[in-house]
Each structure stands twice: as C-alpha cells, then as structure tokens.
Amino acid sequence: MTAETAPEPQSQMHWFLLGMRGIFSLPAIILMLSFVGFAAFTAEAKIPVEQVMFMTGMVWALPAKVILVGSMLSGAHIAAAFIAVTLSSVRMMPMVAALIPEIRDRRTPTWLLLIISHFVAITAWVFAMEHVRTVPREGRVAFFAGFGITLTVANIILVGLVYGAVSEFPPIVSGCLFFLTPVYFLTSIWISARHRVIYWALGIGLALGYVFAVIAPEYDILLAGVIGGTVAWWGERWLRQREAGR
C-alpha cells in the first residue's frame, strides 16, 4: 500500500447521475411543492392539463409561466403576451451568464451550452451555484444537465399527476405552499454566497424590489436588478479597494 494512485477520472455518466440524484434535495422538493400549487392554479383557471404540461417543459421558469397563464386567461394578443413574458425573463440572461463561466471548460461546445441553458430557472441556478464547486470542472456540464433535465421532466409528470387531484386546497395550505418559495430562495442564496457582493446584492435587491414594485410596477424586477446589482457591485468594490489600499 505504498504507491499513491491518482483518483480514477469519473465518466460523464457518473456526473450526470450525481446531478440526477439532486432530485432528492431540499430545493427540488420545495420546487415540486410550488408546482403542486401551480397545478392547482391552472386547474382552477380551467387550462387543459396537456397545455399545462407543455408549458412546464417549454417555458420552465415558474414566474414566466404565471404571467403566460394570466395573459391566456385575459385573452391578451400573442404579441402583448410575448412582451410581458419576455420582460419577466430578462433576468435569465445574467443568471445564465454568471453560471456559464462556472461550468464550462475550454472544450465545451457552445451548442451544448445553448441546449442545457433551457433548464436554468431560479431553483436550478441556486442549486448549481451552490453545488458545482464540489464537482471537477470536466464533470460540471454533465452534472448540471443531469439535475436540470431530471427536475424539469419530474415536474412535467408531477403537474400531469396532481392536476386532477388538487382542484382546491384549504387556504392555509395554499398560503404556506406559496410562501415556501421566497423563504427557500432567501436561505439558499445566503448559504451559497461565496463573494461578499452577493450579500450586498441580496439586501439592496430586496429593498429596491419593494420600492420599484410601488413606483414602477411594470419594470420593477428589471430596474431593481440592474440598479440594485450595480450599486451593490460598485459599493463592494469601493470597499474592497479601500481595504487593499490600507
């Protein structure tokens, strides 16, 4: 037992399966509870279950789907619906842009990243930012694909299964299901933060999210994100430079 052997490089399948196992994690379970709530919402709105499953797979991001359903119910023109949904989804761009440098290696083809980017939504993003550091770089794309694809497929099936069963919850249950999402996001972002700027952005984003929801409700998320994020980055960098200068 003297010779030290380098650890056997794991196959892509190994990392994919490890990502799949993330379906049994706290974030995945909380997201699935949110989708139970979403199934109840669409069942109440009388949108056919096949269409609900279709949009779960195609759109994936929960806030975008809630807006899409709202547009369908109000009979909005397809162009108006497109604008409303696309404004709510602008946040995908910086989220994906922050994730890509963490998971790709020099040989990862762009087409593969374009495909797996579809599985980015808040839960998968938070989960990936938290866990991807524990995976060697060559396995990260497979790890994320395993988690993201499994989570999406599981929720498509879940929505189909529970749609008929949950026409209406007792108010306390649906209220608690709804509240799980923000509380879970808060704890996850705090735990997964590896840079001080994340705490700053979280605090300023929460405050500005409220402020802009009151004064500019149509663009609140976008304004709070860009302005809040920039202020947080600028302030944190200023402090960092001051600390370095001393």
Q: What torsion, rounded to 10 degrees, do the Cα atoms 65, 68, 74, 77 define? A: 180
Q: Smallest distance, Å, CB 20 to other proteins?
A: 21
Q: Which lies closer to other proteins via its Cβ, residue 13 or residue 114?
A: 114
Cα–Cα dist 218/48, whole Å: 29
Measured CA to CA in angstroms, residue 155 lies from 38, 80, 119, 194 at distances of 11, 27, 12, 29
Q: Smallest distance, Å, CB 44 to other proteins?
A: 10
Told to check if 203 binds other proteins by CB under 8 A, we report yes
Q: Which lies closer to other proteins via its Cβ, residue 46 or residue 246?
A: 46
Q: Which lies closer to other proteins via its Cβ, residue 4 or residue 236?
A: 236
The footprint of other proteins on residues 166-195 (CB under 8 A) is 171-172, 174-176, 178-191, 195
Beta-strand runs (E) in 141-219: none
The footprint of other proteins on residues 14-73 (CB under 8 A) is 26, 30, 41, 46-48, 51, 54-55, 58-61, 63-66, 68, 71-72
Which residue among 102, 133, 165, 167 contacts other proteins (CB under 8 A)?
102
Q: Which tokens is 202 given?
A: 């979280």
The footprint of other proteins on residues 204-223 (CB under 8 A) is 204-210, 212-213, 220-222
Cα–Cα dist 218/216, whole Å: 6
The footprint of other proteins on residues 1-20 (CB under 8 A) is none
The footprint of other proteins on residues 221-240 (CB under 8 A) is 221-222, 224-226, 228-230, 232-233, 236-237
Residue position matching structure tokens 């500005």:
208
Q: Smallest distance, Å, CB 215 to other proteins?
A: 13
Q: What torsion, rounded to 10 degrees, do the Cα atoms 179, 123, 127, 223 define? A: -90
Cα–Cα dist 152/123, whole Å: 11
Cα–Cα dist 199/152, whole Å: 29
Straight-line distance from the first to the last Cα atom of the chain, in angstroms, rounded to the nearest whole number: 51
The footprint of other proteins on residues 103-162 (CB under 8 A) is 104, 110, 113-114, 117-118, 120, 122, 125-126
